[in-house]
Structure 1
């Protein structure tokens, strides 16, 4: 295992990977810690900010790897998670802003983001040929 492939990657990939790892770890804390508390709300804000950074950075990964890539080729199948994550973030935040009876509904979109955007898409990041595969498996 070596972090060198990640350190050698373009900055947008570093932001994406570090943000996703941090959001995953923070998400585990959020699921296990008491709900409705000040720490839950504060860490929730941080989690949303991290997920916004992960979502936006995901758009620019392919052009960072292949400079001059036409915009029509920026996206691959994995970018469906970019769209779903953005949709979930907006939906979850709307529930939180409405407050009251809507407050508990934010769990659905945010759990979906955690499972789809962090666990499933995260596992895809470890496929052969990807930087995180190089980090874990070497070469």
Structure 2
């Protein structure tokens, strides 16, 4: 179940993130989609803690990729707090950083032998 949640939330956040980055900011559609995106990102990051860390376990089943999940959760919290305080530039920077983290994690799933790469027929 954690795997299915993680994949679905991640793919939703990946696709929706592109749309949000390209759309006009500050509008109600931006805010509504942003709320969905933050929720998907948080679900993706949180569900990753039930998944294995790959080839380099650091603590139990947790690996280096989980440090990225932790960083994404911090970035989301800082970005949401920033916009609630009216700090638009800080919000934008942290949201972009969170999205870059997601893209980096997705790129990591395309490594030969990983499940996503196999499913997509890349390798």
Which residue pairs with 2:13 in the alignment? 23
Structure 2: gaps spanning 5 or more residues: none
Structure 1: gaps spanning 5 or more residues: 1-10, 66-70
What is the TM-score normalised by the length of structure 1? Answer: 0.79
Q: What is the CA distance between 1:55 and its match in structure 2?
A: 0.7
The root-mean-square deviation of aligned C-alpha atoms, in Å, is 2.1
Q: Which has the larger radius of gyration?
A: 1
Q: What is the CA distance between 1:21 and its match in structure 2?
A: 0.9
Which residue pairs with 2:105 in the alignment? 121
Q: What is the CA distance between 1:103 and its match in structure 2?
A: 2.8
User: Which structure carries more relative contact order (alpha carbon 8 Å, separation 6+)?
Assistant: 1
Q: What is the CA distance between 1:138 and its match in structure 2?
A: 7.4
Which structure 1 residue ranges, 4+ long, deviate > 2 Å from structure 2?
A: none
Q: Deviations over 1:97-134 (max 9, x none)?
A: 212xx133211111001112x11111101222321022
Report the structure, 1 or 2, having the larger helix content: 1
What is the TM-score normalised by the length of structure 2? Answer: 0.88
